[in-house]
Structure 1
């Protein structure tokens, strides 16, 4: 039994009950199916499991952290709803996205509902004012990360702002900064908010944040590798989607662009610039990345961030479950 399955058995029912409870407050009966659809599509629930495991590691108690666990999962799903609107995504978790199932306008309204459900959950945390400030900080970080991710795209957007502000060059350092915001901040919050729910030790909370941040960067790098090389049946998303979306904000792509010779680099950028990228061109792009071992370098980078996460994890007591979660991030196939 892997660690995610084990933690689901322990905490899963409480997480699902909390998600449904906060989303159901003042919810019109004829809108219920649409609002709950996003969380009912499943997902690993990795972030709320991390919140509750951190709380239990710190204090031996996880129940006071259930509102915080609901907050991190609601933020995650809230961001996915808007991510799919922005990227015109049709499939997530092997199912139609909210926008595909109900339309963009309904998806916007559903996203607003999630944002306010987050506020309902904040009121139930042990420290509502502190959590309100934390939530605002993290949602802004995710928003900024999404903005940068779009600016790192090589083509494909018609919005005047993104055309004007698109980055001419994207370095690996740019990529790390972007994913630290877009993905890392929420995983960092998941760990920190677990500690905050059961302890007033500020140093311990910061160690939990730093552990989650490094783990989050590793998580996103593995996600990028799976986007290009994963099994679509296990991954639940279209393989090669980042290439088709012209993204330079993918670890494998970003590394390849720094390693390819000028002629091959121009060819990869040429593929990324096409309005419609055919499957054969996706395969060609992958072959170019393979020629400089970009996949292997991305995996090595993820391993480096795992080691850095472990250094912060050492400061958290009773961290066996957290250590297993960290290992899962690096070994996962979905």
Structure 2
């Protein structure tokens, strides 16, 4: 399949839905809504919502039913980036090649824009119009999965351990793995699990998709760690080498660059192996797993 064309097509589809679902800048409070839309439309690749749609497709579901949840996932991801960039956390000046939200709107509005995006996501998933289109049990399972993976047992928990580990010389591999599987991997896993649930996956397919998401999520963050070392600021959209400069707990820092690359490849192979029970309908998931490890941005 032509992955580049697939990603472009799905990205356009997700962006159109996000534009429809998000509050307009013309609605009060203008500054808040402008800030929310600024970060959502700052050039993201939409990996998580596209993974959700691809997982729904893989199990034979109607991807139109997954669009609201896919957009909600992108809102949650964007909120996490806005907060992650704040001076109290990573203190980044650039994100996706653009000034970070707090550099444009100030810290207070940036914090509130993140809060609003998180809340807007669950408002969208629980919207009665969406509810009428999905099985109640599946919709409830999706809401629960995303909430768990976004909170203290998932992304937020990973962010805390990431901050607490910064600059420490004695961080072990188990800690780095915890950070990666929670801070980044949790939302990637939630994306594919939600897509499979909305697509009506049976137990066997859901288990396979879950294994795929866990492996792909870890591969994604290891690849990010490698890009921080080997990529340029222009390629990765933020200051290259920032993880090393801050003493971040990363796979290359603990294992060395060569072993980190081997681990990323192993996780990609594990993700692909999890999809053996699927035929061509899972090809987008297969190609995205390869892209995650081989990407340059």
Is the structural similarity TM-score above 0.5?
Answer: yes
SS in 1 for 2:272: helix
Give matches, 1:115-264, under 5 Å.
Answer: 115-123=118-126, 124=130, 126=134, 127-140=138-151, 141-154=154-167, 169-247=170-248, 249-255=249-255
**Partner Cα separation in structure 2 for residue 178 and residue 240 of structure 1:** 19
CA apart distance, 1:200: 4.7
Q: 1:329 is matched with which residue?
A: 292
* CA deviations over 1:24-48 (Å, ceiling 9, x no partner): 1895262332220001111111111
Aligned CA distance change for structure 1 residues 56 and 298 (closer, same or farther; 3 Å): same
**Partner Cα separation in structure 1 for residue 170 and residue 106 of structure 2:** 34
Question: Which aligned runs of 4 or more in structure 1 are off by greater than 3 angstroms?
Answer: none
CA apart distance, 1:186: 0.8
Q: Please, which of 97, 102, 105 is the counterpart of residue 100 of structure 2?
A: 97
- 1:22–1:118 contact (8 Å) kept in structure 2: no
- 2:57–2:282 contact (8 Å) kept in structure 1: no
**Partner Cα separation in structure 1 for residue 179 and residue 106 of structure 2:** 29
CA apart distance, 1:314: 1.6
Q: 2:16 is matched with which residue?
A: 17
- 1:23–1:113 contact (8 Å) kept in structure 2: no
**Partner Cα separation in structure 1 for residue 2 and residue 106 of structure 2:** 36
Structure 1: which 5+ residue stretches go unaligned?
A: 156-167, 256-293
Aligned CA distance change for structure 1 residues 229 and 13 (closer, same or farther; 3 Å): closer
Deviates more, 1:89-98 or 1:192-201: 192-201
Q: 2:265 is matched with which residue?
A: 303
**Partner Cα separation in structure 2 for residue 13 and residue 229 of structure 1:** 29
Q: 1:319 is matched with which residue?
A: 282
- 2:139–2:198 contact (8 Å) kept in structure 1: no
- 1:68–1:197 contact (8 Å) kept in structure 2: no
- 1:184–1:213 contact (8 Å) kept in structure 2: yes
Q: Please, which of 102, 106, 110 is the counterpart of residue 109 of structure 2?
A: 106
**Partner Cα separation in structure 2 for residue 2 and residue 38 of structure 1:** 28
**Partner Cα separation in structure 2 for residue 48 and residue 210 of structure 1:** 18
CA apart distance, 1:315: 3.0
CA apart distance, 1:63: 0.9
- 1:187–1:213 contact (8 Å) kept in structure 2: yes
**Partner Cα separation in structure 1 for residue 267 and residue 49 of structure 2:** 21
**Partner Cα separation in structure 1 for residue 45 and residue 2 of structure 2:** 12
Structure 2: which 5+ residue stretches go unaligned?
A: none
* CA deviations over 1:48-99 (Å, ceiling 9, x no partner): 1111111112115311111121122111111111111121111011110111
* TM norm structure 1: 0.79
CA apart distance, 1:114: 0.1
* CA deviations over 1:265-300 (Å, ceiling 9, x no partner): xxxxxxxxxxxxxxxxxxxxxxxxxxxxx2111100
**Structure 1 vs Structure 2 CA RMSD:** 1.9
**Partner Cα separation in structure 1 for residue 141 and residue 58 of structure 2:** 21
Task: Report the number of matched residues.
Answer: 282
Q: 1:6 is matched with which residue?
A: 5
* TM norm structure 2: 0.89
CA apart distance, 1:103: 1.1
Larger radius of gyration: 1
- 2:149–2:155 contact (8 Å) kept in structure 1: yes
